Chains A and B, each alone.
Chain A
């Protein structure tokens, strides 16, 4: 809960839900938890608006409440950060399950939670005129079911009233994959949605996506380090891991080499992997950035996936990149040197890094200043001369360095989103005008009006306006791409924090 987090969270809320929610969010963030009355008092907003904002926040799981004598609200900042990850979820769905899944998840993210019937019918109605998509309810239903089976969507917690209390508490429920009847769905499409009987609510399960992202990072890393076949093997090992261990376990339970071999032989189009499975296992173990470890010899060898170690390694790679870009490759050399030696004296840094004395000192102090390394003074036992000289040992506290990197990411994310809202504000009128022109032109095209009239409408945007607007759009695109990339970095760091220290 740092100041930087607060700044980003506030920006995100402002962009997605407008100023009032942003104000309420800021207030909650600053004070931790608060009652409605208190929020009204400090923000000076009318009570109805505060309640409305809280309702929005609660609906999207961006705030929680605790009921004692009074009901206190609390911001869920981690979930707010996820709002910038939405495009990535959609992309993941599209590449893994196709565009129908993407539409379902998109709708569900927008609705926060809703019943299967409402969800599918809304998606269906939204796109039914779209010939390209060519939706049909049966496919949609099947996709929904496979998403539920794979755990990308889950049942939302249900509200329960405790005896003698008016405040409901949310109780998580186990997801049961539903049996949807197509005929009911068809009927719901034609009738009024409000009176459908379905009352099981669904929502998106972010964690399931995060597992995908993490696996993807690990597989890509191995592919970079060794090759695609090794990456494929890594994927198989992760798959195997999910069968027997919890997803965020520090280490998976051991998998037998012969099982892995069988799995590998079943993969298509990997002749090299088929021919050299054992060799790949060995190379993966020895040169695979210690992602896996041989745990025993039973059954031709047992292998363990070291998920925590992998997260650390990935984090270290991120830190290395950051140091390289911020302070130069020499500083990165010092940084890695200190890390690999655990504790090291200044003099030895210089000797091993092969850098001139002065440069080396300067860089070391800069690293210190950015909280990427730390220093530990050690008093030598006073020698006979009484000159008790302290020696200074440098070392890397990964946890602290990760925090520093996270802060940096949050700062950057805030700045990027700040710039994009400033850009949007500066060109608000033009962007708005363009949007209107576009929708008018679209309408005219649909109606099949002559090209001449369409051109007339298009010309209401003058060339200087057009160039200004396209410039602004380009900037906004670059900014949102940057935001997505920053979110990837944040995700990598959060993977590291997901494990116990």
Chain B
């Protein structure tokens, strides 16, 4: 497909969209350019999305493409040149946002001036500042109507840029419970261990469904998110994962190979002072409180 015909197609689609300010569905697009195969169509739409000409909406389960509101552009109208430059930089950055230092660098504006411009743009609700999860001090700017990228917002695990470790803990526990419910299926299964093993495995999708049905999560968790949680179980040593022939990941709860060893059954094994504990001196086994408490229990 040459560039020229590419442009022609884009134009046709754009025209169709212009005529339907409420948005057009994929079917409408196909009707506007009937000569394209579905793969080519997807490519063409993706390109337009990339150029930022389209917005994507989810309406009643079907996707709608809507020509981008020109408001943002108009809001800029009446702004001075500096604002325009800064706006363009921020727009370019998309939903990954742009760091203030990079703006300064590339716009060649002085610090104070830049702050003023940003303030004013923020005031007009054209742009917003978003805190970055992996660097607490770092703020990035992006257009007001954009949803921050996962790398910036951290996805489901972050609320206002704070990592929600309790939420993760709860999910971790719930996932484990789900896996444990079926873990015993492998033991002495009358239909043999392979069937038993299959029964004790759970796919990530099953776990996701279980978690969703529990209703403990306010945000919608994708299968990917659940896999992240399930992986923490693997690192906890409480589950193992396998891959099914069709490529989907499955998990099953396991127990440690050995019961708690003797080392952790005596106070010294868990004692924070163990490296300071000597035959003589302030900390000695003979007058150890932990020891006597343990022996008297």
Contacts and interface: CB of A to CB of B under 8 A. Distances in A.
B139 interface: no
Given A224-B255, A415-B291, A326 B269 contact: yes
Contacts of A161: none
Given A321-B264, A408-B263, A221 B258 contact: yes
B263 A225 contact: no
A347 B134 contact: yes
B165 interface: yes
Nearest to A220: B258
A217 B262 CA distance: 14
B232 A354 contact: yes
Nearest to A325: B264
Q: Which of A7, A272, A280 has the most CB of B within 10 A?
A: A272
B270 interface: yes
Nearest to A224: B255
16 contacts: A224-B257, A287-B197, A289-B257, A318-B263, A322-B263, A336-B236, A355-B165, A408-B269, A412-B274, A416-B266, A418-B279, A418-B285, A422-B286, A474-B295, A485-B266, A492-B261
A285 to B, nearest CB: 11
B193 A321 contact: no
A317 B262 contact: no
Given A354-B232, A419-B286, A326 B270 contact: yes
B163 interface: yes
Given A276-B193, A354-B232, A228 B188 contact: yes
Nearest to B252: A287
Interface in A376-430: 405, 408-409, 411-412, 414-416, 418-419, 422
Contact of B270 (A325, A333, A487): A325
B138 to A, nearest CB: 13
Contacts of A228: 188
Interface in B267-297: 268-270, 274, 277, 279, 285-286, 288, 291, 294-295
Nearest to B167: A354
A317 B257 contact: yes
Interface in A461-489: 474-475, 478-479, 482, 484-489
Interface string A351-390: 0111111010000000000000000000000000000000
Contacts of A7: 279
B187 A485 contact: no
B186 A226 contact: yes
Interface string B229-248: 10110111100101000000
B215 interface: no
B33 interface: no
Given A415-B277, A485-B261, A225 B288 contact: no
A31 B53 CA distance: 83
B190 A272 contact: yes
Contacts of B129: none
Contacts of A318: 258, 261, 263
Nearest to A230: B193
B192 A226 contact: no
Contacts of B190: 272
A349 to B, nearest CB: 10
B262 A314 contact: no
Contact of A322 (B193, B229, B264): B264
B9 to A, nearest CB: 41
Contacts of A347: 134
Contact of B235 (A353, A412, A484, A486): A353
Contacts of B270: 325-326
Contact of A279 (B193, B242, B259): B193
A313 interface: yes
Nearest to A337: B235
A336 B235 contact: yes
Contacts of B192: 272, 275-276, 279-280
5 shortest interchain CB distances as A-B pairs: A485-B262, A276-B192, A412-B268, A415-B285, A325-B264
Contact of A418 (B163, B194, B257, B286): B286
B286 A227 contact: no
B94 to A, nearest CB: 22
B254 interface: yes
B71 interface: no
B252 to A, nearest CB: 8
Contacts of A405: 263
A412 B232 contact: no
B256 interface: yes
Interface residues of B, number: 52
B240 A287 contact: yes
Contacts of A324: 264
A187 interface: no
A445 interface: no
B295 A226 contact: no
B265 to A, nearest CB: 6
Q: Which of B197, B234, B240, B291 has the most CB of A within 10 A?
A: B291
Q: Which of A7, A321, A332 has the most CB of B within 10 A?
A: A321
B274 A484 contact: no
A79 B190 CA distance: 47
B186 A354 contact: no
B285 A419 contact: yes
Nearest to A358: B163
B46 interface: no
A276 B186 CA distance: 13
A325 B168 contact: no
Given A336-B235, A354-B157, A411 B268 contact: yes
Nearest to B260: A321
B108 interface: no
A226 B193 contact: yes
Interface in A320-343: 320-322, 324-326, 329, 332-334, 336-337, 340
A283 interface: yes
B228 interface: yes
A236 B257 CA distance: 19
Contacts of A409: 262-263, 269
Contact of B269 (A286, A317, A322, A337): A322
A488 B261 contact: yes
A227 B285 contact: no
Given A415-B268, A415-B285, A320 B186 contact: no
Contacts of A283: 186, 193-194, 197
Contacts of A340: 234-235
B237 A332 contact: yes
A55 interface: no
A229 interface: yes
Contact of A419 (B168, B229, B288): B288
Interface in B168-183: 168, 172
Contacts of A353: 232, 235
A482 B165 contact: no
Q: Which of B228, B254, B256, B262 has the most CB of A within 10 A?
A: B262
Given A276-B192, A352-B232, A415-B285, 6 more contacts: A279-B194, A283-B194, A317-B237, A322-B261, A416-B285, A419-B285
A445 B195 CA distance: 63
